[in-house]
Chains A and B, each alone.
Chain A
Amino acid sequence: MPSALHVRTKHEFATISMDTWVNVQVVADSPRETIEPTVQRALAWFETVERICTRFDPTSEVMQLLGHVGCPVRVSTLLFEVAAFAHDLAKQTNGAFDPTIGATMEQLGFATNYRTGEIVNSHVGAESGDFHDVRLDRRARTILLRRPVVLDLNALAKGLAIDLAVQELQSYPDFCIEAGGDLYVRGHNMTGENWHVGIQHPRAEGLLARTLHLSEVAVCTSGDYERRAPGAGAEGHILDARTRQPVLDLASVTVVAPTAMAADGLSTAAMILGRERGLEFLEDQGVGGLLVTPDGAITSLGL
């Protein structure tokens, strides 16, 4: 228990980035003004990651690769690392997760730049390639697109931004940061306990599938229930890259992992792999998980 509990205050900050709300809570006995600059630097990472990784802006670094198909392009460390992780995730799921799904997503109507309302069109065919068409050279820090493919790094970018914000906030022992339901918790909450993290139930708005008491971990939930393509019926935003069909076997997957990028990527991958193979995959990767089927059955992996 902190000795000066009576002066501990929860300071909350929020902003919009990556088409979602980003919330930071810092529990500290210092005044808000002393915390704020650090929080602003943390939140600035969201803007940086989005600017580099968004497929909704033709001038983003990732979309500029399309202008150099067939040539290795030297890229920022940030873009290289997130693309490399996406590639590893694709390899280890045998392409069930595939970052080159971007053009397909665009054609399904996930094509509106939320900041401007503009509809993007990369003029790339949905069937144009897969992750084998992306070549990464770590030594030269280059990315080579062998064919025109649109990289969709959204599944990882939000997690990465959280992880970078966590680095920025490392001088604070007690905080949590949450972006569109992905989160990282560190230290303790206002009452000096581990953070109480609710896991949204995918079929009951406002109700929780479970509450976990956590610290020093990231939690990410992927589900079929929030983002839907405009005009589409019941289809969610998670597709099996191999069939290009929406996922039907699971309603949501929550992953608890040391980094938000891993939690984000692994929860998306497990959603696609489905109940049985998803569970095995999460077990192999040594993370905790909560899998909920469309009929509400919950399977827990160490949670």
Chain B
Amino acid sequence: MHRGLVALSASAVAAIYMAGYLRTQSADASIGAAALPTAQSVQVAAAAPAAPPAARAITLPTPVVPFTQRPRPGAPPTAAPALQSQAAAAAQQAKGGFKDGTYTGQGSSRRGDVWVSIQVQSGRIANVSITRSTLQYPLRDIAGLPNQVVQRQSAQVDIVSRATYSSQAFRQAVSQALSKAA
């Protein structure tokens, strides 16, 4: 009889953790300054994207504005339709790269907004970082929703399991920034 997959997964996790792969990596640094200590309330901190192995130094993102202090986005840049700018960006890349510089973009979803900064060096994207985020913790959405229709128990939940939630606002912000670099 085969060994159960649960047992196999547990020994795999143990082996990986023991191997201490992380110790040889600089991944700590990529998160380092990103998670801001603040007193109360929900806060969203964002890590810099992981650099590919043996890549250039990781640029830390500007500290994220805590949820409690966030200014209302006054006149954010008009959000071009994501698909359109993404297509433009892809087309531009096919033509031979972006213009060097640093570009910003903003993305929105029903969970809030996110601002990114993209550095282009030698026509290629050198770094993408989140500079600001007002994305709400998913629980906030759930807490206020009518829950008597399908839910069997009335207690408020701590956490929700669902199929993968894509970071759509992040992608939109990136494609908007890239459309400026085209």
Contacts and interface: CB of A to CB of B under 8 A. Distances in A.
Contacts of A33: 37
Contacts of A119: 90
A105 to B, nearest CB: 13
Interface in A4-53: 12-17, 19-21, 23, 25, 32-33, 36, 39-41, 43-45, 47-48, 50-51
A278 to B, nearest CB: 14
Which residue of A13, A33, A36, A89 has the most chain B CB atoms within 10 A of its CB atom? A13
A189 B171 CA distance: 33
A102 interface: no
B57 interface: no
A180 B164 contact: yes
B137 A182 contact: no
A25 to B, nearest CB: 7
Contact of B6 (A15, A50, A116, A258): A258
B22 A160 contact: no
B170 A211 contact: no
Contacts of B52: 51, 57, 59-60
Interface in B120-154: 125, 128, 130, 135, 137-138, 141-142, 145-147, 149-153
B6 A19 contact: no
Given A15-B47, A21-B165, A115-B49, A198 B5 contact: no
A208 B150 contact: yes
A278 B31 CA distance: 39
Contacts of B17: 164, 167
B178 to A, nearest CB: 6
A266 B5 contact: yes
Interface size class of A (residues with CB under 8 A): 35 or more
Contacts, number: 269
A196 B156 contact: yes
Contacts of B43: 12-14
Contact of A82 (B12, B130, B149, B163): B12
A285 B35 contact: no
A92 B5 contact: yes
A14 B44 contact: yes
Interface string B43-86: 11111011011000000000000000000000000000001001
A44 B162 contact: no
Contact of B151 (A51, A185, A210): A210
B13 A16 contact: no
B5 A211 contact: no
Interface in B153-169: 153, 155-167
Given A16-B47, A211-B157, A221-B161, 11 more contacts: A40-B31, A47-B31, A51-B27, A59-B53, A85-B9, A181-B165, A190-B158, A208-B142, A226-B164, A252-B163, A285-B5
